[in-house]
Amino acid sequence: MKKIVAATVTALFLSTAAMAEDLSFMLTNLTNSDINEFYVSHSGSSEWEENLLTGAYLPAGNEVEVWITDGRSVCYYDIQAVFADGDVLEEYDLDLCELGSYTFH
């Protein structure tokens, strides 16, 4: 399942042509619940971008490489995960260039 989720997320990001630097980071789910929806928006945006896991999910205990090819030369993004158990976790102003990964605990 890990490879299927990774391919799905990568395909969603790569469907937009890169106009600036691409940004990738590892997303790890160390919770006890699957992530059913995952959103990334550049910091300062008032709305979430589309669900990057449409048609897929990130199982508990797994990780996936996420690519952002939105044409922006920025590092600061907000993220949101919606879990199968109904929990919603958000984190703001993350420097994904510096971090290189993000883990939900």
Total count of residues recorded for the chain: 105
In this prediction, residue 89 has a pLDDT band, given cuts at 50, 70 and 90, of very high
- Residue 7 reports pLDDT greater than 80: no
Sheet holding 23-29: strands in order across?
63-68, 23-29, 101-104
The 3-class SS string of the chain reads CHHHHHHHHHHHHHCCCCCCCCEEEEEEECCCCCEEEEEEEECCCCCCCCCCCCCCCECCCCEEEEEECCCCCCCEEEEEEEECCCCEEEEEEEEHHHHCEEEEC
| Amino acid 70: pLDDT | 81
pLDDT value of position 72: 84
The domain made up of 2-104 has a fold known as: Immunoglobulin-like (2.60.40)
pLDDT digits (tens, 9 = 90+) for 19-67: 447 889 999 999 999 999 999 999 989 999 989 898 899 999 999 999 8
pLDDT given for residue 9 in this prediction: 54
